[in-house]
Amino acid sequence: MPESRNSRLTRPETLTAVGIIVVAAGFLVPTYDLRAISALLPAAMLIGLIVLSVFLLLADQRKASAGEDAAPMTKAPKRVIGAFLMIVSYALACDFVGFYISTAVTIPLVAWTFGYRSPVGLLIATVIVVGTIWAIFDFGMSQDFPAGRLWGR
């Protein structure tokens, strides 16, 4: 009696890779409207996500062709879904309230979601990340990040 198998395209890693590729490509399109120096970082990160997702897709399809069973993507799916929702919220918040406020709120929330519980460590990490971004891009390169639609410019 033949063993019933699910489709190779419905494997969790394949669906995740395809989803990341589609979302990253969707966010990549607006970077063409930015100045070249402003678009460099987000475009490089999005292209990197797409390339890594293609590697994930190819590796998972190779495993599927070898007959390996699909492994579950996570043992804590609610935590992963929450992190994805925070990332989407971060992207929207950058547009509405600005980059620095959104980043200062998102960094400790994501770290807290993934289990880091030291308030002092969260504060230090947030200050270091936001301060480093400000020092490199705003102070060093004279690049302005989005101030947000609510504050206007």
- Name the domain count of the chain: 2
- Measuring CA to CA, which residue among 133, 130, 147 is closest to residue 96? 147
Distances (CA, A) of 78 to 73, 83, 145: 12, 9, 31
The pair of three-digit structure tokens given for residue 80, joined into one six-digit string: 């992963």
The residue that leads in pLDDT, 21 or 144, is 21
Indicate left, alpha or beta for 142 from its phi (over 0: left) and psi (-120 to 50: alpha): left
Q: How many CB atoms within 10 Å of residue 133?
A: 16
The residue that leads in pLDDT, 110 or 1, is 110
pLDDT tens digits along 88-112 = 999 899 989 999 999 999 999 888 8
pTM: 0.58
**Same domain for 43 and 63:** yes
Burial of 25 (0-12, 13-18, 19+ CB in 10 A): middle
pLDDT tens digits along 20-50 = 999 999 999 999 888 887 788 889 999 999 9
**Same domain for 66 and 36:** yes
**Same domain for 142 and 83:** yes
**Same domain for 67 and 11:** yes
**Same domain for 92 and 43:** no
Q: Which domain holds residue 58?
A: 1-73
